[in-house]
Amino acid sequence: MKKTGAWLATYALEQVGVKYTFGIPGVHNTELYDELNKSKLIEPMLVTHEGGGAFMADAISRTTDGIGCMVIVPAAGVTHAASGIAEAHLDGIPMLVISGGVRTDTQRAYQLHDMDQHALLAPITKACFKISHQDQIIETIYQAYNIATQGEPGPVFIELPVNLQLFSAEINSIAPYEKNAPASIIDQHSIEQAAQILSQAKQPGIFAGWGARHASGPLKELAQWLASPVATTLQGLSVFPANHPLHTGMGMGIYSVPASENAFNKVDFLLAIGTRFSEIPTGSYGISVPDDLIHLDINPKVFNANYPAKVCLEGDAEILIPKLLDALKKIQKQERSNPSLIQAIQKDKLDYKKQWAQHDSRQRVNPALFFKALRQQLNDDDYLVCDDGNHTFLTAELMAIHKSTHFIAPTDFNCMGYGVPATIATKLSHKDKNVVGIIGDGAFLMTCMELITAAKYAIAPIICVFNDGELSQIAQAQEIPYNRKTCSVLGALDISGVAQACGVKYIHLENNQTIDSALQAALKTSQQGQAVIVDVNIDYSKRTRFTQGTVKTNLKRFDLKTKARFIGRALVRKISG
């Protein structure tokens, strides 16, 4: 049988469960777009920028059982999308990136969009493929999907030259996709060794990351059996419910909330699950990890990279946590009880919220009161999306997340501009749920025009813009050592004008007295099928624990001469104005 490459690619994407593609058509992929438009299973989505499209594909993978997919033009489309592809790569998010390619059936030099895309993308993808004949297309897409979703997930790139899309070729067979997951090798001896160490710990602690997202049930049971406090990474914020009595918060050092810092000060043993111990979740590597560390992760490369482990357990947390729990129950016959720990966690949480609530935000919106109201108005299975910035850590400290994968944010690549497109894509996939984006004004500026995409496709997210006129996370970091804000104060921004230009509704949230009414109006607007921006006149004058802690950690690393230089300069500038 004869088939075009465009038909074959569309068929293969249907087979692996792609529901949406994100991108912009161009001369090197119009044939593929035409085939996608005819598909009954895939909806091709036009975005305003491929960078936004990459963040949308990322959000699909984080919040659904499917995989996010891009269909983009070569060269400029690839470079525009690179930030979102890199975010997925460092955060361990599966993605298929399908790009057109220049013609391979001519000898012409200097073709439009002619570049070595694979050299650019090799460091930020799990694999790159360039297809040379139509009969490779289906097999390559199946292989790419397997690579993207197995082991530690990540993005995979496929270049499909335009001539292969356009022209027909004889195809021997068209096979359906058959899932063939590799057999997992379980080291039972290491599991039993870990269980033995766990049973002997006076006060074990658990540090859980995104890798535990599909193991929330067994993770809760394990924590209860050990009477162990549970802290999470930023990316893994949702993997352990914040309303569980053993939940402490994000992180476990001086950069974490008091419930975490105090609970983990007493920990003599740590079980780390699905985390790399990367810079953000460790507060710039400011944590002290006990000598008795058991590290469980699907990627063996993370073991001993930053903190040495006594036992390393390689594998999927969803499989290994139940096995570890079974081994532990054979040694430790009864569930532990530690009511004093639970009481201390509860008290620390209440005291911290009270401290925030009493903060004088003057005529601006107190973040704690905002998140308290938002939590009360959302259901546990609604979704919250964050961008990168000061608002991210305010959310992590002040907003309770109760269901796994229902909070997402850019983390290890930490790319600003993620929030608006990711919120749109999350709402696209969960039309029956409330989906709220928490986005700083600087991050909003980067991708706010994707709201045109939301309006075009009648997608109705709620975009809460924390508007203070600064790149506040950096501005706050500049204040202590420099007593200056260099290139971190934004220009004037009329968010109502952006809303009008994009065809979405606008709500201004001026002060604490209007929080409830503004959020209620936003939820009603979204439920009626219209996207809405909530312009929040936020107060950033109170620092997050994360900002305070990481600044302290990094200042401690300076030698005495450098410290004196920084402190002296800041004092002189403060006196001189």
Which residue is it, tokens 């996939």? 429
Contact indicator for 451, 430 with CB cutoff of 8 Å: no
For 32-48, write each residue's pLDDT tens digit.
999 999 999 999 999 99
Convert 343-376 to b/e letters by CB count within 10 Å (16 or more is b).
ebbeebbeebbeebeeeebeebbbbbbbbbbbbe
Start-to-end Cα distance in the chain: 78
For 467-476, write each residue's pLDDT tens digit.
998 888 888 8
Q: Does domain 2-170 have CATH number 3.90.1330.10?
A: no
Q: Residue 460's pLDDT is what?
A: 98
126 CB-near residues (< 8 Å, 6+ apart): 89, 147, 148, 154, 155, 156
Contact indicator for 45, 424 with CB cutoff of 8 Å: no
The CATH number of the domain covering residues in 188-344: 3.40.50.1220
Spell out the alpha helix ranges (H) of 150-304: 162-166, 188-200, 216-226, 258-265
Q: Residue 577's pLDDT is what?
A: 66
Q: What is the pTM of this model?
A: 0.96
Contact indicator for 215, 271 with CB cutoff of 8 Å: no
Please choose, from the candidates 362, 357, 358, the residue with its C-alpha nearest in 3D space to the C-alpha of residue 372. 357
Give the Cα separation of 134 and 517 in Å (integer).
57
For 397-425, write each residue's pLDDT tens digit.
999 999 999 999 999 998 999 999 999 99
Which residue is it, tokens 């780390």? 272
DSSP character for 123? G
Give the Cα separation of 349 and 552 in Å (integer).
22
Do 2-170 and 359-546 share a fold?
yes
Contact indicator for 215, 318 with CB cutoff of 8 Å: yes
All structural domains of the chain with their residue ranges: 2-170, 188-344, 359-546
Q: Residue 279's pLDDT is what?
A: 93
Please, what is the Cα angle at 442 between 507 and 394, to 5 degrees? 75
For 177-202, write each residue's pLDDT tens digit.
998 877 778 899 999 999 999 999 99
Phi, then psi, of 135 in degrees rounded to 5: -70, -5
> What DSSP line would sit under 408-437, residue for residue?
E---SS--TT-HHHHHHHHHHH-TTS-EEE
Query: What would the two tokens of residue 483 be?
Result: 């007593």
Strand partners, 436: 384, 462
Return the amino acid letter for 193: Q
The CB density around residue 19, as the number of other CB atoms within 10 Å, is 18
Phi, then psi, of 23 in degrees rounded to 5: 165, -165
Query: What would the two tokens of residue 395 be?
Result: 């959310």
What SS3 state is found at 365? strand
Contact indicator for 282, 270 with CB cutoff of 8 Å: no
CATH superfamily of 359-546: Thiamin diphosphate (ThDP)-binding fold, Pyr/PP domains (3.40.50.970)
Q: Residue 280's pLDDT is what?
A: 94
Positions of the chain with pLDDT lower than 50, given as ranges: none
